[in-house]
Structure 1
Amino acid sequence: MSAPTNQPTPPIVAPPAAAAQAEQDPRERSAVGEAWAEIVHGSPSWLTSLALHMVVVILLALWSLPSLPELSKNLLLSEPSTEDENLDDFEEINLDQAELESEPVEFELQPEIEELAEEVSLSTFEDLTAAPTFTELSDVGLTPAAPSIPNDALGFSGVGTTGRGKMSLAAIAKAGGSAESEEAIENALRWIAEHQNPDGSWTLVHTAGPCQGRCPNPSNRGAAESLRAGTGLALLPFLGAGQTHKDGKYKRVVNRGLEAMARLAKNEDQGASWRDPGGAGAYSHGISAIALSEAYGMTGDSVLGSLAQAAVDHIIASQGADGGWRYRPRDPLGDTSVVGWQVMALKSAYLAHLQVPPVTVAGASQFLNTVARANGTEYTYLASDNATSPTRSSIGLLCRMYLGWNRENESLREGALKIAAVGPSENNYYYNYYASQVLFQYTGGKGAVWRKWNTDLREQLISQQATTGHAKGSWYVDGQHNDSGGRLYMTSLATMTLEVYYRYMPIYQADAVDKGFPE
């Protein structure tokens, strides 16, 4: 075997830790180097080669890795904003006013009748955003009502739309209602709902729908001649009880009724009309306009606002030269009965912030002057008449209050006492409906005059309501014009009369008068 050849000793590469220590202390560095040299020289050659190769591989790997991101800079630091922050842009959250998922249980006045309503397509009203006010649809009106006080230079004052629905039984009893009268309203609303036509409308010939003749005493007018009057009259008791197409057990019934009202509109040169064929068209239009305005005022639904304004525009355009309304548009001679429905519609529209021009309001007051008798305490049917009646006087006095008479007006006081002295009628529900509103608004639902009237009429209506069979919850008694209106007409009037406690706000109280509202 030949002697091994002398080869140079490979350079010694110190581990990183040793190198770091050597940089810190030269003496430690020489000592470590000597120790490391001993280890290398004393180790087998294959071990030394393995160690060197491992070091080379590690160095190559470190050299080829990409540089790591500066995590501390990216995650912990943020660049300053170049824009000024506006704290007003952020919505403040008030935890005290946060709405919780659980809601307080309310006393419900109406029975559940969800099973009565057919499944219908998504409402054209449901998804619309309510407008806070309504001013863009017509250039006829000049001054909508103020949102807080229902009175301004137009001369309108009195009845508001904020007193409807969902009062406690104790509050209703305080105003003059009772558990029995509320039960009568519940049964009435159920009966009206059960007699809705499949297309959502009602007709005064109620037997043409699901009733199938089980309830007697329909209107003696044709079904097609009373669609608009029937639909408007049927909707008003639901609205009077606080039921709308957005809220309440009857919202499907009301929604379908309002959709039917929209389909029944007829375009006119100005606005739209809901006039039924025949001489009663002015009545059906006024009733429909009230229903649309009330529904809009309660919900703010912009589609309903458009329809209601169109109905009001037609009333404005139909006013006669004497300031009144009658069977035909612009009839030169108005009558008190037709005028009553139109003035109620204008009042409801005004309170819903629709546009009603002052000249129309002034014209209505001018007409009432022509039919006023006995210093404004009584009213006739036509300006040429001298015969007054409790019904006509009730209509005239209610319109006077709508148009600005306050409770201190001596003619109003005397006229209201005359009505109270006559007392309720056994069969004239039209008179009872108007007279109840006059006395409730005049007395504010307080005092001996109101208690006497209310108790007598409330108990009479409860006793006259049908309590058995398919007619349960409805009303019909023989009387003048009752056969023309029929059972649906009488049921609607009776229900609205029983709803007087929460249908309208009693604004003729001392504090309201003392504020000196302008007339």
Structure 2
Amino acid sequence: MITILPIAALNAWHIVLWVVLVVVFVGSLFGLRTRWARQRPILRCVLLSLAAHAVLIGLAAFVRFAAIPPGAGKDESVRVTIIASKLQPSILAEETPAATDELAEEPTEEPIAPVVEPDAEEAPPEPEPISEADPEAPTEPIQPPDLMPPPDIAEQGEEIAEVMETPPAVEPETPPETPAPETPPSEPNPPAEVTPAVPEAPTPAVADITPATPAVPSSYAERIRPDRSKSILEQGGSLETENAVGRALEWLAQAQARDGRWDADQWRAGRELRVLGHDRHGAGVQADTGITGLALLTFMGSGHSHLGGPYQHQIAGGLVFLMRSQTADGCLAGDATFYARTYCHSMATFALAEAYAMTGDKRLEASVRRGVDYLLRTENKTYGGWRYEPNTVGDVSQLGWIIMALRSAEMAGIDIPNETWQRIEYFLSRVVRGRNGGLAAYRPNTDWSRSMTAEAMYCRQVLGKPLTDLAQLESLDALAAELPGDGMTNYYYWYYAGLALHHAQHDGNAARLTWNRWNERMKHQLLTAQVIEGSDQGSWNPNTVWGGYGGRVYTTAMAAMCLEVYYRYGSPAAGQSPWIATRPRGETTQK
């Protein structure tokens, strides 16, 4: 009970207290009206607090709380008896739709490995919770089939988590150029509303990373040769380069998120460094599909697949994440921002297409076809090429990833219209620079750069339309003038130049010498830059030209793929074009 003290009950201390409180209250209000207080928000908060407390103390001094008389009920106690009974709910939980949805969304597997925390000075922000896509949105991701190795491979001792209910059945037909695995899969009905978790798998030692994958097309055969170590030495690699790739794969396996993605934001992607003077608004911060595609390409470049081997869990989880990210129109960009969307789509399509070409797993076909169709629709139909928006004038930086995605799909048996290849060749002709045509620009109206020269050189090799002798000498001179270690570290440039020079090394003395010089410098720079201790052991720091946008996963994937150049594609010495073996070398469709 609450009562107010009567006036007669007031004594001297009540009066003194009230006088003090009134002074504090009035003084606080007066202080709030001064210019000094208006310019200091924190002081205003203090004065308001003093005024409020003065009022509260004044009220408390004149309010009396009625209490229970001393001793009342002291010896009394309340006895409570709990009678156990069997609960009889009217509706079982498993029959309630809401309960079913909650169970479907609750992860049931431990993550593949604890996410490695970067060094203190580069601590990434905590990843935001992954929100479910709006089921009524027009770009709802298509439910993909889940991936699991066929029974003969699953019996090797490591089981993939329950990512599908039944193993794939034998498929009677296989895509051209792609020998099917011994037990090719069929496309099962996808389980409804079940998000597969990437299971926890032991991280193998470097010496135990022997790939386990079925027969692959000849262009990928170098990756799984039983004597690959011999091939590595012959092509310019070493035990040290291969161990570095192994450490990179270990780190990537640990850095994978629970749902199969490699979280770009978690690993410091999207830092705006205004490279080349342009503000790209932190492109890369939500580039999960592109970063995941690069990580998958790194695993597959070393001969691993989702059908077997020590990293089958990680690869399967990444592929499923990409397929779940694909929208009905075929786009694989996910939540990437404007400047990263085309990169993300092409890198993700490249990864899915290469996985399909390597394994012949028909469960990947639908996603690859949709990704390819999206590229075909968004190409500039007048001049060829792709950029940030559909049907705009393209750039060479986008073209490299897209050519590799399209050619990988073609090797998996998916037809690419000849008109598309013709427009690509025409676009490349518009960015030619240099006295002999050996240099290349970013876009038709810009000046040449070494990165674009390296990428365009490799694009022509992919197309089976290499440069003329004089043009190639001009390209070689340009690349030799900036070897790895000269200037800022740029793994993007090193990746394309390494592929182009490795492929061209048998085209003459100058090409061989340039490759040897490039390779020695590249090996030294990459081996000395790899993190060798701590939680980031095996990765490469993102303090590179484009590392601010891509983050640690990007730099690690690109650096490791540079060191996979010795066996990534078919050996040119054997007369095998690494990509366009079926397209006659030397012919051209340029007008």
* TM-score class normalised by the smaller sequence: 0.5 to 0.7
Which residue among 496, 500, 524 is the counterpart of 1:434? 496
Taking the TM superposition and a 5 Å limit, the aligned residue runs for 1:1-12 are none
In 1, distance between residues paired with 2:363 and 2:525?
A: 40
Residue 415 of structure 1 and its aligned partner are, at CA, apart by 1.4
Tell whether the 8 Å contact from 1:130 to 1:299 is kept in structure 2 after alignment: no
Taking the TM superposition and a 5 Å limit, the aligned residue runs for 1:168-187 are 168-187=228-247
Tell whether the 8 Å contact from 1:205 to 1:222 is kept in structure 2 after alignment: no
1:351 paired with 2:392, answer no
Structure 1 residues 410 and 433: alpha-carbon distance in aligned structure 2, compared to 1, 3 A threshold: same
Tell whether the 8 Å contact from 2:354 to 2:409 is kept in structure 1 after alignment: yes
In 1, distance between residues paired with 2:483 and 2:250?
A: 29
Aligned-CA RMSD value:
3.1
Q: Deviations over 1:208-255 (max 9, x none)?
A: xxxxxxxxx544358872121121111110000111000221001111
Structure 1 residues 205 and 338: alpha-carbon distance in aligned structure 2, compared to 1, 3 A threshold: same
In 2, distance between residues paired with 1:518 and 1:131?
A: 36
Query: Aligned residue for 1:316?
Result: 376
Query: Aligned residue for 1:507?
Result: 572
1:191 paired with 2:256, answer no
Query: Aligned residue for 1:490?
Result: 555
Q: Deviations over 1:286-325 (max 9, x none)?
A: 1011101110011000111221121111111110121010
Query: Aligned residue for 1:165?
Result: 224
1:467 paired with 2:532, answer yes
Tell whether the 8 Å contact from 1:281 to 1:327 is kept in structure 2 after alignment: yes
In 2, distance between residues paired with 1:447 and 1:344?
A: 24
In 2, distance between residues paired with 1:265 and 1:124?
A: 22
Query: Aligned residue for 1:254?
Result: 315
Query: Aligned residue for 2:454?
Result: 394
In 2, distance between residues paired with 1:362 and 1:351?
A: 18
Taking the TM superposition and a 5 Å limit, the aligned residue runs for 1:203-242 are 203-207=263-267, 217-220=268-271, 221=282, 225-242=286-303
In 1, distance between residues paired with 2:558 and 2:167?
A: 28
Structure 1 counterpart of 2:299, one-letter code: F
Structure-1-length-normalised TM-score: 0.66
Structure 1 residues 437 and 130: alpha-carbon distance in aligned structure 2, compared to 1, 3 A threshold: farther
In 1, distance between residues paired with 2:445 and 2:171?
A: 46
Structure 1 residues 339 and 392: alpha-carbon distance in aligned structure 2, compared to 1, 3 A threshold: same
Structure 1 residues 256 and 438: alpha-carbon distance in aligned structure 2, compared to 1, 3 A threshold: same
Moved more, 409-418 or 285-294: 409-418
Query: Aligned residue for 1:46?
Result: none
In 2, distance between residues paired with 1:222 and 1:405?
A: 33
In 2, distance between residues paired with 1:297 and 1:337?
A: 24
Query: Aligned residue for 2:162?
Result: 121
SS at match of 1:225: coil
Which residue among 505, 525, 528 is the counterpart of 1:443? 505
Structure 1 residues 486 and 223: alpha-carbon distance in aligned structure 2, compared to 1, 3 A threshold: closer
Query: Aligned residue for 1:36?
Result: none
Query: Aligned residue for 1:382?
Result: 443
Structure 1 residues 171 and 162: alpha-carbon distance in aligned structure 2, compared to 1, 3 A threshold: closer
1:277 paired with 2:337, answer yes
Tell whether the 8 Å contact from 1:161 to 1:298 is kept in structure 2 after alignment: yes
In 2, distance between residues paired with 1:396 and 1:195?
A: 32
Structure 2 counterpart of 1:431, one-letter code: Y
Query: Aligned residue for 1:330?
Result: 391
In 1, distance between residues paired with 2:503 and 2:169?
A: 34
Residue 504 of structure 1 and its aligned partner are, at CA, apart by 0.9
Tell whether the 8 Å contact from 1:203 to 1:227 is kept in structure 2 after alignment: yes
Residue 505 of structure 1 and its aligned partner are, at CA, apart by 1.0
Structure 2 counterpart of 1:507, one-letter code: P
Structure 1 residues 449 and 224: alpha-carbon distance in aligned structure 2, compared to 1, 3 A threshold: closer
Query: Aligned residue for 1:368?
Result: 428
Moved more, 294-303 or 415-424: 415-424
In 2, distance between residues paired with 1:360 and 1:516?
A: 17
Structure 2 counterpart of 1:430, one-letter code: Y
Structure 2 counterpart of 1:483, one-letter code: G
**How many residues in Structure 1 have an aligned counterpart in Structure 2?**
373
Residue 355 of structure 1 and its aligned partner are, at CA, apart by 1.2
Residue 436 of structure 1 and its aligned partner are, at CA, apart by 0.1
In 1, distance between residues paired with 2:584 and 2:248?
A: 40
Query: Aligned residue for 2:55?
Result: none
Structure 2 counterpart of 1:293, one-letter code: A
Query: Aligned residue for 2:365?
Result: 305
Residue 204 of structure 1 and its aligned partner are, at CA, apart by 1.6
Tell whether the 8 Å contact from 1:163 to 1:503 is kept in structure 2 after alignment: yes
In 2, distance between residues paired with 1:129 and 1:407?
A: 44
Moved more, 220-229 or 170-179: 220-229
Query: Aligned residue for 2:21?
Result: none
Residue 508 of structure 1 and its aligned partner are, at CA, apart by 6.1
In 1, distance between residues paired with 2:362 and 2:585?
A: 30
In 2, distance between residues paired with 1:257 and 1:251?
A: 10
In 2, distance between residues paired with 1:511 and 1:340?
A: 20
Structure 2 counterpart of 1:488, one-letter code: V
Residue 187 of structure 1 and its aligned partner are, at CA, apart by 0.6
Taking the TM superposition and a 5 Å limit, the aligned residue runs for 1:39-188 are 120-123=161-164, 127-129=168-170, 132-134=173-175, 160-166=219-225, 167-188=227-248
Residue 460 of structure 1 and its aligned partner are, at CA, apart by 1.1
Q: Deviations over 1:167-226 (max 9, x none)?
A: 43222111111111111111100100101110111122234xxxxxxxxx5443588721
Query: Aligned residue for 1:78?
Result: none
Structure 2 counterpart of 1:433, one-letter code: Y
SS at match of 1:182: helix
Structure 2 counterpart of 1:334, one-letter code: G
Query: Aligned residue for 1:98?
Result: none
Q: Deviations over 1:250-286 (max 9, x none)?
A: 0011111111111011111xx4433523221000011
Structure 2 counterpart of 1:472, one-letter code: Q
Residue 406 of structure 1 and its aligned partner are, at CA, apart by 3.9
Q: Deviations over 1:73-92 (max 9, x none)?
A: xxxxxxxxxxxxxxxxxxxx
Which structure has the bigger radius of gyration? 1
Structure 1 residues 461 and 404: alpha-carbon distance in aligned structure 2, compared to 1, 3 A threshold: same
Structure 1 residues 354 and 161: alpha-carbon distance in aligned structure 2, compared to 1, 3 A threshold: farther
Structure 1 residues 488 and 511: alpha-carbon distance in aligned structure 2, compared to 1, 3 A threshold: closer
Residue 421 of structure 1 and its aligned partner are, at CA, apart by 3.6
Tell whether the 8 Å contact from 1:419 to 1:435 is kept in structure 2 after alignment: yes
Tell whether the 8 Å contact from 2:248 to 2:539 is kept in structure 1 after alignment: yes
SS at match of 1:273: coil
Q: Deviations over 1:445-465 (max 9, x none)?
A: 994332221111012100000
In 2, distance between residues paired with 1:327 and 1:376?
A: 27
Tell whether the 8 Å contact from 1:129 to 1:301 is kept in structure 2 after alignment: no
In 2, distance between residues paired with 1:408 and 1:242?
A: 33
1:286 paired with 2:346, answer yes
In 1, distance between residues paired with 2:458 and 2:406?
A: 13
Residue 351 of structure 1 and its aligned partner are, at CA, apart by 2.0
